[in-house]
Amino acid sequence: MDLMSQATFGYPTVSWFLPIVYGSLGAIPALLSLFFDFDQTADSLRSAGQDPRRNVYDFIIVGAGSAGSVVANRLSEHFNVLLLERGGDPNPLALVPALATILLNHPENDYMYRSIPQRSSCLSLNNRQSSWSRGRGLGGSSTLNLMVYLRGHKLDYDNWANITGDSRWSYDGVLPFFKKSEDYCVQCENNPNDVFEPQFHHKNGFLTVGKPPYQPLVEQFLQGCEWNGIPRVDLNGPYKEGAATVTYTQRNGRRLSTYHAFLQPILHRKTLTIEKYAYAYKVLFRGPNNEAYGIEYERHGRKRVAFATKEVILSAGSLDSAKLLMLSGIGPQEHLHSLGLKVRINAPVGQNIQDHIGTFPGPFLVEAPKSFNLDRDANAINALRFVNNGSGSLTTSGIHANAFFSSFRAHEEGNPEWPDTQWMFLGLGNWGVIDETFAHAFNVRSDVLKEFFDPGNFSPRHYNLHRCSSSSNWFLSPSTNIPLLPKPTNFCIFLFHCIYIVPNLFICFDLVKGKDAFQITVMLSRPRARGEMHLRSANFRDTPLFNPKYFEDLDGSDIKVMVEGVKRAVFMSENSPAFRRVGSRLSPVPFPPCRHLPFRSDPYWECFVRHYSVSIYHYSGTTAMGPRDSPHSVVDSELRVIGTKRLRVIDAGIMPTVVTVNTNGPVIMIGERGAQFVLDTWDSYIRQRGHRSFNNYL
């Protein structure tokens, strides 16, 4: 075995690198703070020399995230554009995909929002509050997410077209705008078993999309899905149910945020002005028709005003665009009155929050060194591979494949071809601090995850022995009222306990930490629960109150769909031939708050899901689009805020129903579709100036 192979599987030749890895991880908060302080100070000095009289533009865009970056790119080709971004430059550490989970919940690059305490979910999270991470800086949450690029199911968009009465939002209507952005990496199709449909992809767009070079245990997962009745498909083409290797927004092994894809290449444009650390807090209106003409914002402690001669566009994300509308007098009338805010338009802003909730059944332990284990795989050789040619284990964000299928509920409601459950496959081993990593990333109680991943440090008095599967292994199942060993009925059984079971206590307790493993995130793709957000006060610096109301749907079926998805994941992971060949088995350690219930029973899994439920960070619907006469609509089908003129919202908030997939790809499409609406509105002006319309590209 050569040095490269030894490095990959963590042989002693590179074990010296592990202290460097953990030392570097420990330094991340300091590095983030240092970069943030330097960037903010430098920008403050530069802004002090700017002419305050240069404050009139054709368009003002608030927010340089996944949608705003796209809109700024497209509009600045024809018009003078001011792009206001509350954060600064993205931290260079974000370019390393393997750091994605580790970089969550640091204030320098994450707004670290929290929901209010939940009643029916998130029970093992700190204060029962769901962590709502939002990317801080140019590129928004595309600098912070796990880089998954999925478009969504055909029926997601046909449903939008039905809700809005506008066929331009159908799947056939939005497909050109997905393709418009895309620069698909055909050479990244390196698995001959994968399905690739080139007619649904495009080259030479701004956004490079492709499959990552490092895919631990992916073939086992996809074969397991096929065995379980979920076929291989191209998940970025039309499908019914299906599974595929993950596609990332990635170039040369590095994260490709919308800042790097859409803004960095056009920073030379004189028609684009970007102001960082600009905190917009009010849309300016004039006249009886509520015509938007500017933005009030704060930058480096100074109040600023900018004016738009054509339109103001809010792309601050589903949470902050809704907040800005309410601060500007557009929202639920009674709520705004209670805060002393002048009401311009009574609208259901913030009343339709939808989010994907997920859980992590597992870990599933395997007998081969095939998963990504930070202790083993974050070594010198893989670091060199990443730097030199964008390959190796550091190119992974942690999600390696996806699958979509329909639950019992989808079948009962007559939509068996519209999946409502997603599996995200995480080929992650149980490295030494995985409990701390997940606790910090998802706001889970550290004591709970410590006991879950490292049960050897806890007393065995809480456990009793049960069979874990059809194999001959025994495992520990929780109970507070059953003795540690069953009472022997005869001397032979007593000897069996002494000779075979008792020694296995130590084996069982050693099954989790440091082992090769994988996890499957089970995600509720079509939740019925609807949440809401409200302003905390009239002060723009105060974070709003977010209440997603997970598992509080009227018929109580959301939790049942999740439990079914978890049980199916466990069954597939332990029984499919592909996973059996690597010895896959569910960890014998029960989730600590649920150890009073029979392990693997339906009540146990419901307890597990309610306790270990985390947001997948796909908040949407706060400024939902729909017919202008609908009481549920905030924007019309061209994303214009109803009751105003020259004001649009272009971000995830406009989704009337959340798509069934990770939302970054759909939000980029919304940016493209929204920008085209704007360009079509002002097309005569463009033609008078001799510019070319973007219709030529479609």
Pairing mode, strands 291-299 and 302-314: antiparallel
Question: What pLDDT band is residue 187 in, cutting at 50, 70 and 90?
Answer: very high
Flag whether pLDDT at 467 surpasses 60.
Answer: no
What does residue 597 show for φ and ψ, rounded to 5 degrees? Answer: -105, 150
pLDDT value for 354: 98
pLDDT value for 483: 33
Q: Give the model confidence (pLDDT) of 503-542 as tens digits.
A: 444 444 445 677 899 999 999 999 999 999 999 999 999 9
Q: Give the model confidence (pLDDT) of 334-346 as tens digits.
A: 999 999 999 999 9
pLDDT (average), residues 436-442: 95
Question: What pLDDT band is residue 597 in, cutting at 50, 70 and 90?
Answer: very high
Flag whether pLDDT at 315 surpasses 60.
Answer: yes
Q: Give the model confidence (pLDDT) of 88-132 as tens digits.
A: 999 999 999 999 999 999 999 999 999 999 999 999 999 999 999
- Helices 154-164 and 171-181 pack at an angle, to 10 degrees, of 120
Q: Give the model confidence (pLDDT) of 363-378 as tens digits.
A: 999 998 889 988 888 8
Q: Which residues contact 388 (CB under 8 A, 6 or more apart)?
A: none
| Contact criterion met (CB below 8 Å) for 202 and 180 | yes
Q: Is the dihedral of CA 60, 66, 69, 75 positive or negative?
A: negative
| Contact criterion met (CB below 8 Å) for 82 and 57 | yes
Question: What pLDDT band is residue 16 in, cutting at 50, 70 and 90?
Answer: low
Q: Residue 125 corresponds to which tokens in the numbers above?
A: 């999270």
Rounded to whole angstroms, how far apart are CA atoms 694 and 698? Answer: 7
The counts of H helices and E strands in the chain are: 21, 27
CA angle 591, 596, 600 (to 5 degrees): 60
Closest by Cα among 146, 187, 231 to 425: 146
Closest by Cα among 589, 346, 551, 556 to 450: 589
Ranges of beta strands (E only) in 550-601 are 585-586
- Helices 446-453 and 434-442 pack at an angle, to 10 degrees, of 150
| Contact criterion met (CB below 8 Å) for 276 and 88 | yes
User: What region, left, alpha or beta, does residue 105 occupy, with left being phi > 0 and alpha being psi -120 to 50 degrees?
Assistant: left
- What is the CB-side half-sphere exposure of residue 118 using CA atoms within 13 A? 30
Which of the pair, 79 or 501, is modelled with greater confidence? 79
Closest by Cα among 658, 666, 653 to 331: 653
Rounded to whole angstroms, how far apart are CA atoms 25 and 537? Answer: 37
pLDDT value for 18: 59
Give the CA distances from residue 12 to residues 6, 8, 16, 262, 433, in Å, rounded to whole numbers and listed in that order: 8, 11, 8, 43, 20
Using DSSP, state whether 381 is helix, strand or coil. helix
Question: What pLDDT band is residue 682 in, cutting at 50, 70 and 90?
Answer: very high
Flag whether pLDDT at 257 surpasses 50.
Answer: yes
pTM for the full predicted model:
0.90
Q: Which residues contact 423 (CB under 8 A, 6 or more apart)?
A: 225, 243, 402, 403, 404, 405, 520, 521, 522, 523, 565, 569
- Mean pLDDT across the chain, nearest whole number? 89
